[in-house]
A and B are shown apart, each in its own frame.
Chain A
């Protein structure tokens, strides 16, 4: 059995700008037809990685293949990929249809055919009727659609999107997230999507690659990334979590800062390894002292703050050395303990994840 060829394969990719290493030894395979998100804080190297796939930057070291072909040093016009830029980069002196037909015209497609295919792409992104407009006559959302059509009309093997929704307001962004996802299924093209918004990455992608400081820290499905973060950074960056620092003990427990030993799944880490126990607020339970279920890991503290979210409450519990957030669904009849009272936070043994510090 042959392994299906990766749409994009990065092998030991390094990119240096002078003394700065922007991307540090990244290995990554993106499968054909996948909706892949590169996620990380600004300056983590995700955009540089995307630009290397586009051919707008060249790797300092390593191999970059698109459907098996080495493209590392090919200029952007020789690669079967197209990009949706962060600022959309529509050509201001051209109409919508001229913008969309541009790529085809550059590939020497006859004008009539190019216009026909451009119209089709414009229809696909629901911009028909606005072919003769100039970019400055369009709203941000509409420009975004034109930018999408301009890239998709070339039937690229891979579509690259650089924070394409960053400039849109929340409502429009959510709408475009859904549409992008639908569109991707329709056209069946591999999408590589750069974002710093973890929620966007979780809701849209088939798989996510989390980057920080130029390194690719973890690659996995949204569920894997959320449920089994590879390290402290990923646990902290994806969603909300409480990180209780400690060290692994020889009996398979973790000794926390206050000396308490909590039984958790240490994933066969060696004794003495510094770790953090990642406990999601929605996986923790709050109890009156003495009422916590026996033999569950727990810590004791004092209720410090209520944060009302409407459908839920976040209760902040002060431990001796840190604070913990516990999320409680706002079910009918629920009343939170008074501030300042002593409370116990417990969790199921499998609810907390031990990550390397």
Chain B
């Protein structure tokens, strides 16, 4: 029966249908419930008390929450841009050149993917505490943990993911394309700019999306390296749970969910646009 598509019959078909429904229900029911109760007019998170949008208003007026949302977005944007640039450069270096002890650097680059988040978090905390103390002592500066330390840690783990994705794309690209560009009077830079880069854009976009999501998502590492100067939205939400949960959390979660969906939709749209209308 290899390769042919045979429709299952009888009880098998019924079981498969039920299974499919269960799987999707498992995926999406929590989302639906979350969205529904974010509009519930009751102070208890799981009780329906009529329709209201007041929780969104409360979120919007809560300066602690909005400022941490702002931090989240800035950290995500900055860490994505920097890790995409560095990750792509690492991918190019490892894929297109041969040098001494390359295998070592190759395997070391992927450590952040393997290291547990908690370990990474403690490492970062120690590193920054030690580093900041040292610089403050040596140069009389007044650095503290905060936006910069969060961003740096996010860059540190995102680079690996970006370079994995970009490298996969580079490996699938024929070296002859770059040679052809060089043969046709393109300098190294122009060959990259006009031939290599357009070929690996999907990989770079994928890596960027991954970096963005990882940054917006991260709780563990951020919690350790955040300072008094403010923290990201997920960490703030996490700390709210301890104070006692209000449906504001539901509203915040829905906003984050919609934002990520918009992001994915946007990147798909950009891909389509690029594919359809290259001229000149």
A-side residues, CB < 8 A to B, are 54-56, 75-77, 81-83, 85-87, 89-95, 102-103, 106-107, 111, 150-151, 154
Query: Is the beta-carbon distance between B185 and A85 smaller than 8 angstroms?
Result: no
B-side residues, CB < 8 A to A, are 174, 176-177, 179-187, 190, 194-195, 198-199, 278, 280
Residues of A within 8 A of B199 (CB): 92-93
| B174, B176, B181, B187: the one within 8 Å of A102 (CB) | B181
| B174, B180, B187, B194: the one within 8 Å of A83 (CB) | B180
| A55, A85, A93, A95: the one within 8 Å of B180 (CB) | A85
Give complex CA distance A72, B176 in Å.
21
Give complex CA distance A203, B278 in Å.
42
Closest 6 CB pairs of A and B: A103-B184, A89-B180, A89-B176, A106-B185, A76-B182, A77-B185
Give complex CA distance A81, B181 in Å.
13
From known contacts A76-B179, A83-B180, A87-B176, infer whether A93 and B186 are also in contact, taking CB-CB under 8 Å. Answer: no
Query: Is the beta-carbon distance between A76 and B183 smaller than 8 angstroms?
Result: yes
- Measured CB to CB, the closest approach of chain A to B29, in angstroms, equals 42
Residues of B within 8 A of A93 (CB): 198-199, 278
Residues of B within 8 A of A111 (CB): 280
Residues of B within 8 A of A87 (CB): 174, 176
Nearest B residue to A111 via CB reads B280
| B interface SS class | helix
Query: Is the beta-carbon distance between B174 and A89 smaller than 8 angstroms?
Result: yes
Residues of B within 8 A of A89 (CB): 174, 176-177, 179-180
- Measured CB to CB, the closest approach of chain B to A238, in angstroms, equals 29
Query: Is the beta-carbon distance between A103 and B176 smaller than 8 angstroms?
Result: no
Query: Is the beta-carbon distance between A85 and B179 smaller than 8 angstroms?
Result: yes
Question: Would you list 15 pairs from A and B whose C-beta atoms are within 8 A, ordered by A residue?
Answer: A81-B183, A83-B180, A83-B183, A85-B180, A87-B174, A89-B179, A89-B180, A91-B194, A92-B177, A102-B194, A103-B185, A106-B185, A107-B185, A150-B184, A151-B184
Give complex CA distance A87, B190 in Å.
21
Query: Is the beta-carbon distance between A106 and B179 smaller than 8 angstroms?
Result: no
Residues of A within 8 A of B177 (CB): 89, 91-92
From known contacts A89-B176, A93-B199, A93-B278, infer whether A56 and B181 are also in contact, taking CB-CB under 8 Å. Answer: no
Query: Is the beta-carbon distance between A154 and B185 smaller than 8 angstroms?
Result: yes
Give complex CA distance A103, B278 in Å.
18
Query: Is the beta-carbon distance between A102 and B184 smaller than 8 angstroms?
Result: yes
Residues of B within 8 A of A85 (CB): 176, 179-180
| A54, A81, A91, A154: the one within 8 Å of B195 (CB) | A91
Residues of A within 8 A of B186 (CB): 77, 102, 106
- Measured CB to CB, the closest approach of chain B to A133, in angstroms, equals 13
Residues of A within 8 A of B176 (CB): 85-87, 89
Residues of A within 8 A of B184 (CB): 77, 82, 102-103, 106, 150-151, 154
Give complex CA distance A91, B174 in Å.
10
Query: Is the beta-carbon distance between B194 and A54 smaller than 8 angstroms?
Result: no
- Measured CB to CB, the closest approach of chain A to B271, in angstroms, equals 12
Give complex CA distance A66, B195 in Å.
27
Give complex CA distance A180, B190 in Å.
30
Query: Is the beta-carbon distance between B185 and A91 smaller than 8 angstroms?
Result: no
Query: Is the beta-carbon distance between A56 and B185 smaller than 8 angstroms?
Result: no
Give complex CA distance A77, B182 in Å.
5
Give complex CA distance A121, B51 in Å.
69
- Measured CB to CB, the closest approach of chain A to B187, in angstroms, equals 6
- Measured CB to CB, the closest approach of chain A to B112, in angstroms, equals 32
Nearest B residue to A134 via CB reads B278
Give complex CA distance A102, B184 in Å.
7
- Measured CB to CB, the closest approach of chain B to A63, in angstroms, equals 21
With contacts A86-B176, A87-B174, A89-B176 known, what are 20 further pairs, Cβ within 8 A? A55-B182, A55-B183, A56-B179, A56-B182, A75-B182, A81-B183, A82-B183, A83-B179, A83-B180, A87-B176, A89-B179, A90-B180, A91-B177, A93-B198, A93-B278, A95-B278, A102-B184, A106-B181, A106-B190, A106-B194
Residues of B within 8 A of A83 (CB): 179-180, 183
Residues of A within 8 A of B182 (CB): 55-56, 75-77
Residues of A within 8 A of B179 (CB): 56, 76, 83, 85, 89
Give complex CA distance A39, B191 in Å.
31
Nearest A residue to B195 via CB reads A91
Nearest A residue to B280 via CB reads A111
- Measured CB to CB, the closest approach of chain B to A227, in angstroms, equals 37
Give complex CA distance A151, B185 in Å.
11
Nearest A residue to B177 via CB reads A89
- Measured CB to CB, the closest approach of chain A to B204, in angstroms, equals 14
From known contacts A85-B176, A87-B174, infer whether A54 and B198 are also in contact, taking CB-CB under 8 Å. Answer: no
Residues of A within 8 A of B180 (CB): 83, 85, 89-91
- Measured CB to CB, the closest approach of chain A to B272, in angstroms, equals 14
Nearest B residue to A85 via CB reads B176
Nearest A residue to B185 via CB reads A106
Nearest B residue to A75 via CB reads B182
